[in-house]
Structure 1
Amino acid sequence: MYLFSEIASIMEGEVRHESDALISRLVFDTRLLVEPEGTLFFALKSDHKDGHSYIVNAYDKGVRHFVVNRSFIIPRELEDACFISVDDTLHALQILGKSHRQKFSIPVLAITGSNGKTIVKEWLSQALSFKEKITRSPRSYNSQIGVPLSLWQLNEHSTLGIFEAGISRPGEMESLSELIRPTMGLITNIGMAHQEYFVSVEQKIDEKLKLFETCDTIFLSSDNVALYNRCRELYKGKRLLSWGRLTGADLQLTDSEAAAEGILKLRWQNKDLEIAIPFKDAISVENMLSVILFMLHTGCSEEQIKAQVMKIQPVAMRMEQKEGIEGSLIIND
């Protein structure tokens, strides 16, 4: 928790109405309000919505502390509320997230990729829960807004941070890298998502790999030869650990047919492993390889891995389809 005045100082904002309140929660959406006491509302502005339009709504729900743009005129009915005025509310949120991250010297894993970021993050969190106190991105909080909100969750009990970083355009990853300052990085894959904003797949690879500038170790698939070779070229001084089906992968899947039955036959450091997993589809197998590789790197034994991966539960994702009553179909949106 931070004092309201301390947060103003970190963001170099102007306090309009003093407060000695302790702030423990950051919110930018009134629909996410749970407990207004100790909440700081950021009035974020996008191309489609202006958070300043929801300040009165947040106030009516009990919030009394706000971060606003300097041009915002405080309505008379909100004169008992407390405000921090800044040049840019999103930038102020990022400054606060970055400052909070810098207080922690624990290992931090950053995950990027076109698909699978949330699943790998959640599976790692489940698999490593027996030995780590993990702070991770809520849901798919991987954007310019979501990352600082995720970093805010770090606390004195955290022993490992796992955070997603998602981009849709060139020039976005550098700021996320500066916020997260990861010690380890993992890239799930490179696909065609958001390709319309990039002139080539190579440009997208370079943009995503910017996330790993502060990393000591990077986890990736060696089956994606273009990605692997580019990462090796850019980061000659870093340790690359790979998973894949091709000879030369640090963690090699040696039997694809067995994998389709939920049995991973693997080769790791000249030793054969056989690990049963609760999934059989190809995408889940790929994601599980990255999870197992990370677990091996962190010192988990074969027995621990076997026990933990069988406990992993599916991750409910957006657009997940479920059967409803009377033959209806429910879509998680």
Structure 2
Amino acid sequence: MVNTLTPNELLHITRGEILQQGPLSSINYISTDSRKIIHGDQTLFVALKGFKVDGHDYIADAYTKGVRIFVVQHEDTDTHIPNSTVIRVKSTTEALQDLATWNRLQYEGIVVGITGSNGKTILKEWLGQILANHFDITKSPKSYNSQTGVPLSVFGIERHHKAAIIEAGISQPDEMAKLQAIIQPNIGIMTNIGTAHAEGFSDQKEKLNEKLRLFKDAQLIIYRKDHEAIHQSLQNLYPADKLVAWSEQPGGDYTLSIKKEKEGSKITLIKSDLGLYTFHSRFTDEASLENLRHTIVASLVLGLSEPQIQQSIQELDTVEMRLTLKSGIHQCLIIDDTYNNDLAGLDIALEFMNSQRPKKRKILILSDLLQAGDKGSVYSHVNALIRHYQLDMLIAVGTDIHRLKSAPPCEVYFYRDTAHFLEDFPGLSFQDDLILVKGARVFQFERIVDALQERIHGTVLEINLNALRKNFTFYKSLLKPTTKTMIMVKAFAYGGGATEIAHHLEQLNANYLAVAYTDEGVSLRNEKITLPVMVLNPVQDSFGNLIKHRLEPVVYSLSFFRQLGEYCRSNNNAISVHLDLDTGMHRLGFGEEDLEELRSLTHRYPELRIASLYTHLAGADDAAHETYSMRQLSLFQSMCSSIQSFLGYRPLMHALNSAGIVRYPEFQMDMVRLGIGLYGVEVNGLHENALQPVSVLKTTISQIKLLKKGETVGYSRKGTMNHDGKIATIAIGYADGYDRRFSNGIGKVIIHGQKAPVIGNICMDMTMIDVTGMDVHEGDEVIIYGAGLSLKEQAAAIGTIPYELLTNISSRVKRVYYLD
């Protein structure tokens, strides 16, 4: 909710012109997403023109939600919107930013601006948790730190908030100046500088200086003095009286030294006046300890006492900065969002819930919204959200949330606390439901998730749906707007789980899916996936299912064409098919010599409608094969021309896979086939920094053993300790897909950012690793593939390709999906 804004003020702020004058009413909400409009008669709709979505296409939808005032960008926007005011601006993105700047200027409280390469969101959440125990605050929802995310965050600042915490992220030069004008932080925090988003800058120094522009008008800037590059740049840019430095070593405004203990860490604080205080935390990893010390210093600067901070530190946990989709009991799907609870986060979580595949019911388990300002207004808005997202059931936990008692238009159950809900849990019937669990940390809703969640093997494959979206967007940026995308979700979507990924691809407006076998396509249809699906390896026994489930088979030979044609004719059916043309892969497909008979078959069996013609490039991932690839592409175009001449219509044409999209964009034709690239592997090695790994395979330490030099480890005594030390047994083996070729030191895993080698032979269900000299404990998380251990690096170590590692991950390894 923004400060009330009149249309005249809107016109002045955005520097726009009125295209159409309608009734004038005050504005209390600003929306860029027609799906999220609740109070339409009080809402301004800003039609952003984005890479994937053009907001001008959703003006009519916003109108049906009651909106009567619009800011548009297009010259040709239809202004004949009944009883509406339409304002045209040069850039709707800039207009949105100008409106956010105006809203910020109405606020007289403290604004904390956070930037850096890593840790921004976790620091924002931890600082927010600590401050919220003492006064009313607001903060950026999730990772809303972009050119549009920051304005939307600032719109959440209201007069009753005592402080606002806003994070800012950039990826290109000159972006921070725009964010600085919007945020205008009183207090700045610089977390660190790393390699993230480096591709837009000439060097690390340019990126650092761009980030530091956020603090141009800040009164105080908090940073870690041990980061030498940050320290030097800040000293060069800003006067000393603005800088608040902390360090592990004496010489900063605050000295915060660490001593790791068995059950956590002790942080000793020495202030410049030699005041001394000791904090205790359960965290031992370096990233968490750096974020925690930033949080401590920021809390002190904002006026909290050391005992107040220590009390709050006890409540901090490893914050899951993401919405996580998990398999639940009785075919339910669980959305786990249990780390905090506020209106902005609830709206985001409900939107995520609304985009999931349909289940029998939509159920929200919600706690009190703590430190939320005026309770009546807050719970009135919760009611509006429940109505807007058409929930079937609300389970409300807490004492304040009883204010909802008479209003929610759904089935409602109230519980005083989590314990009372769990007492009733066995009697509640959850079956094939979509359940969002959203609660403040004090309510310990992780206990509810634990009760609802399907029992899982200790090894999980986490799939980052945001990374999937970013990779998809990268490849789309290489294509013409008219080029269609076919996404390969065969082999369980390269190990990631076909159903959830296919559903997400529907949300991203992919045009086609491709699977290997008919039963994979049937499974997608049973899960309500509606996109066209191409089946690469159909067999005669599957003809009935192909037609029943509207699947489109590949036809690769004359005999298969006849078989399918006869089946369709005898059953009075028609079907769309895709013709595989062999131009040099020499695997499956029609050759040039088959085209004359293919002409005859297409005339004989009109029941087979040719949806596309395609070929496979044998060497698109290697420049050494460019001559061969070009010969294939030339032959493909020639064969397509021949086929089109006797078909009498023009099917889609496609030849490029992930590697080909990068190497031969001029041959994108009507459609491309995106496979391994979507999952974060750029096999050409030309744009690796532009992609993000989609999946992380992780497990836990089951046991730690101390061994003497010369002792042996594992089957056949293949592992030998060449020093006194310790090993850890982790809960993954070759039955989970951890290739046995990683045995005996070839494989590495990561624990707390450090690499540990495999020792001995990998077993069916377990692996031993050498953790000598490392501070690790039973139950610690272990990364098998992920940040710091790329799939390409791991595959190269055992002489294979990333495809094999991904597709070999066993089905007993549970897939967990999240949106960070």
Q: Tell me what 2:521 maps to.
A: none
**Given that residues 135 and 161 in structure 1 are in contact (C-alpha distance below 8 angstroms), is that contact kept between their aligned partners in structure 2?**
yes
Q: Tell me what 2:196 maps to.
A: 193
Q: In 2, distance between residues paired with 1:163 and 1:273?
A: 29
Alignment equivalent of 2:277, drawn from 273, 279, 290: 273
Q: In 1, distance between residues paired with 2:815 and 2:287?
A: 24
Q: Tell me what 2:211 maps to.
A: 208
Q: Tell me what 1:105 maps to.
A: 108
Q: Tell me what 2:157 maps to.
A: 154
**Given that residues 150 and 166 in structure 2 are in contact (C-alpha distance below 8 angstroms), is that contact kept between their aligned partners in structure 1?**
yes
- Cα 1:48–1:167, aligned 2, differ >3 Å: closer, same or farther? same
Q: Which amino acid aligns with 2:308?
A: Q
Q: Tell me what 2:54 maps to.
A: 50
- Cα 1:259–1:192, aligned 2, differ >3 Å: closer, same or farther? farther
Q: In 2, distance between residues paired with 1:70 and 1:232?
A: 45
Once the two structures are TM-superposed, the CA of residue 319 in structure 1 deviates from its matched residue by 7.5
Q: Tell me what 2:295 maps to.
A: 291
Q: 1:242-261 residue pairs with structure 2 within 5 A?
A: 242-258=245-261, 261=264
**Given that residues 38 and 65 in structure 2 are in contact (C-alpha distance below 8 angstroms), is that contact kept between their aligned partners in structure 1?**
no
Say yes or no: does 1:235 pair with 2:238. yes
Whose Rg is larger?
2
Higher deviation after alignment, 195-204 or 2-11: 2-11
Q: Which amino acid aligns with 1:48?
A: K
Q: Which amino acid aligns with 1:40?
A: L
**Given that residues 278 and 309 in structure 1 are in contact (C-alpha distance below 8 angstroms), is that contact kept between their aligned partners in structure 2?**
no
Say yes or no: does 1:183 pair with 2:186. yes
**Given that residues 96 and 151 in structure 2 are in contact (C-alpha distance below 8 angstroms), is that contact kept between their aligned partners in structure 1?**
yes
Q: Tell me what 2:634 maps to.
A: none
- SS of match in other structure, 1:41: strand
- Cα 1:256–1:322, aligned 2, differ >3 Å: closer, same or farther? farther
Q: In 2, distance between residues paired with 1:260 and 1:202?
A: 39
Higher deviation after alignment, 240-249 or 113-122: 240-249
Q: Tell me what 2:467 maps to.
A: none
Matched residue pairs, number?
Answer: 332
- Cα 1:69–1:303, aligned 2, differ >3 Å: closer, same or farther? same
Say yes or no: does 1:62 pair with 2:548. no
- SS of match in other structure, 2:208: helix
Once the two structures are TM-superposed, the CA of residue 54 in structure 1 deviates from its matched residue by 1.7
CA deviation map 1:239-264 (0-9, x unaligned): 21122323323332323424981332
Q: In 1, distance between residues paired with 2:192 and 2:169?
A: 12
Alignment equivalent of 2:35, drawn from 31, 34, 58: 31
Q: In 1, distance between residues paired with 2:297 and 2:137?
A: 18
Q: Which amino acid aligns with 2:231?
A: Y
Q: In 1, distance between residues paired with 2:258 and 2:159?
A: 43
Q: In 2, distance between residues paired with 1:113 and 1:147?
A: 15
**Given that residues 67 and 89 in structure 1 are in contact (C-alpha distance below 8 angstroms), is that contact kept between their aligned partners in structure 2?**
yes
Q: In 2, distance between residues paired with 1:52 and 1:321?
A: 31
Q: In 2, distance between residues paired with 1:311 and 1:326?
A: 27
Q: In 2, distance between residues paired with 1:176 and 1:131?
A: 28
Q: In 1, distance between residues paired with 2:84 and 2:317?
A: 44
Q: In 1, distance between residues paired with 2:43 and 2:30?
A: 6
Q: In 1, distance between residues paired with 2:262 and 2:303?
A: 24
Once the two structures are TM-superposed, the CA of residue 93 in structure 1 deviates from its matched residue by 1.1
Say yes or no: does 1:124 pair with 2:610. no
Q: Tell me what 1:329 maps to.
A: 815
Q: Tell me what 1:143 maps to.
A: 146
Q: Alignment identity in percent?
A: 36
Say yes or no: does 1:221 pair with 2:224. yes
Once the two structures are TM-superposed, the CA of residue 322 in structure 1 deviates from its matched residue by 5.7
Q: Which amino acid aligns with 1:332?
A: Y
Say yes or no: does 1:115 pair with 2:601. no
- SS of match in other structure, 2:96: helix
- Cα 1:87–1:153, aligned 2, differ >3 Å: closer, same or farther? same
Q: Which amino acid aligns with 1:150?
A: S
Runs of 4+ in 1 over 6 A off after TM superposition: none
Q: Runs of 5+ in structure 2 lacking a partner? A: 328-452, 457-813
Q: Which amino acid aligns with 1:151?
A: V
Q: Tell me what 1:10 maps to.
A: 13
CA deviation map 1:87-110 (0-9, x unaligned): 211111111111221222322211
- Cα 1:65–1:192, aligned 2, differ >3 Å: closer, same or farther? same
CA deviation map 1:110-155 (0-9, x unaligned): 1001111111112111101233322322222211112222222222
**Given that residues 224 and 245 in structure 2 are in contact (C-alpha distance below 8 angstroms), is that contact kept between their aligned partners in structure 1?**
yes
The alignment yields a C-alpha RMSD, in angstroms, of 2.3
Q: Runs of 5+ in structure 1 lacking a partner? A: none
Q: In 1, distance between residues paired with 2:262 and 2:175?
A: 36
Q: In 1, distance between residues paired with 2:303 and 2:455?
A: 50
Q: Which amino acid aligns with 1:325?
A: E
**Given that residues 259 and 285 in structure 1 are in contact (C-alpha distance below 8 angstroms), is that contact kept between their aligned partners in structure 2?**
no
Q: In 2, distance between residues paired with 1:217 and 1:5?
A: 36
Say yes or no: does 1:88 pair with 2:91. yes
- SS of match in other structure, 1:220: strand
- SS of match in other structure, 1:284: helix
Higher deviation after alignment, 236-245 or 187-196: 236-245
TM-score (norm 2): 0.39
